[in-house]
């Protein structure tokens, strides 16, 4: 199995590389210095040059607020380069697995979003990720798009690592308590991707292409998530004590672009495909805290 992996040093990409290599697959792990996603033509050329059995795209422009002032760059990375991947994979007739986001939704739902629910992104980041989904669907039939949410891991920048860092220097923190979602451990996303690849390879005429939701079980908000992070941090020995945490509203913490107030994803479709349930985010949090201690 020869896998072309874009974004190999990111949160999900680094976990993918580890899991793929453990399975004995030949992994072509590309970084930004290898292929710059601000140059879609170079992305297309890489897909055609390496001639892998499957392409996994874990590369994205994810700076939500910064994207408002860098719409063109975000579009190049999140949409046009994804179209290039689709074009190259279509010409080679190989499948592509692409990671998308809960930010394609506006957050007005009251129950977990399904893959069929209306998309309506609030900002540039979500809009460019949606454009990436649509362009991939247009370019190539053999695609799996995995929408995920609130990603955290031992690599890269994320909420868990930020909170642990702040807790070491502050006795009191204020965290938004009226935005709800499902934190998702990068290792569980990577494992799901590996299982999807195996499912495709082990099915004679695989036909279940399309969009799937992929997030950990458990609904929470940023305030309660931060408290769980501090509790687990102390338990793992990463923190010496838990700081006081105060719940504030989104209105009290303005950002350059709006966040979905509710972005819990319904993962039943993926669970049926893989014949397994997604784990709880709490298990992933424990793994990350223990890994950071090492």
Question: Could you list the active site residues?
Answer: 125
**Interatomic CA distance for residues 218 and 228, integer angstroms:** 12
Buried b vs exposed e over 8-26: b needs ≥16 C-beta within 10 Å? Answer: bbbbbbbbbbebbeeeebe
Exposed, middle or buried: residue 141 (CB in 10 Å: 0-12, 13-18, 19+)?
Answer: middle
> Which residues 6+ apart lie within 8 Å of 233 measured at CB?
164, 167, 239, 242, 289
- Angle CA(111)–CA(210)–CA(75) in degrees, nearest 5? 85
């Amino acid at each position: 199995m020869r896998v072309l992996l874009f974004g190999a040093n990111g949160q999900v990409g680094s976990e993918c590389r580890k899991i793929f290599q453990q399975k004995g697959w030949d992994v072509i792990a590309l970084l930004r210095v290898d292929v710059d996603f601000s140059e879609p033509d170079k992305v297309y050329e890489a897909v055609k040059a390496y001639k892998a059995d499957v392409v996994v795209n874990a590369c994205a422009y994810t700076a939500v607020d910064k994207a408002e002032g860098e719409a063109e760059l975000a579009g190049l990375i999140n949409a046009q380069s994804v179209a290039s991947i689709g074009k190259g994979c279509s010409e080679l007739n190989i499948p592509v697995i692409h990671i998308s986001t809960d930010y394609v939704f506006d957050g007005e739902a009251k129950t977990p979003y399904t893959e069929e629910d209306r998309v309506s992104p609030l900002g540039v980041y979500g809009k460019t990720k949606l454009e990436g989904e649509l362009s991939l669907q247009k370019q190539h039939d053999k695609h799996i798009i995995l929408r995920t949410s609130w990603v955290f891991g031992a690599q890269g920048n994320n909420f868990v690592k930020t909170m642990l860092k702040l807790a070491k220097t502050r006795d009191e923190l204020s965290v938004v308590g009226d935005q709800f979602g499902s934190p998702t451990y990068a290792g569980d996303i990577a494992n799901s991707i590996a299982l999807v690849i195996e499912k495709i390879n082990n099915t004679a005429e695989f036909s279940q292409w399309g969009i799937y939701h992929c997030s950990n079980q458990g609904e929470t908000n940023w305030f309660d998530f931060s408290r769980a992070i501090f509790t687990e941090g102390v338990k793992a020995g990463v923190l010496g004590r838990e700081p006081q945490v105060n719940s504030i509203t989104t209105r009290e913490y303005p950002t350059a672009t709006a966040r979905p107030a509710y972005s819990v994803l319904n993962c039943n479709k993926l669970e049926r495909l893989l014949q397994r349930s997604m784990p709880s985010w709490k298990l992933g949090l424990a793994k990350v805290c223990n890994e950071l201690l090492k």
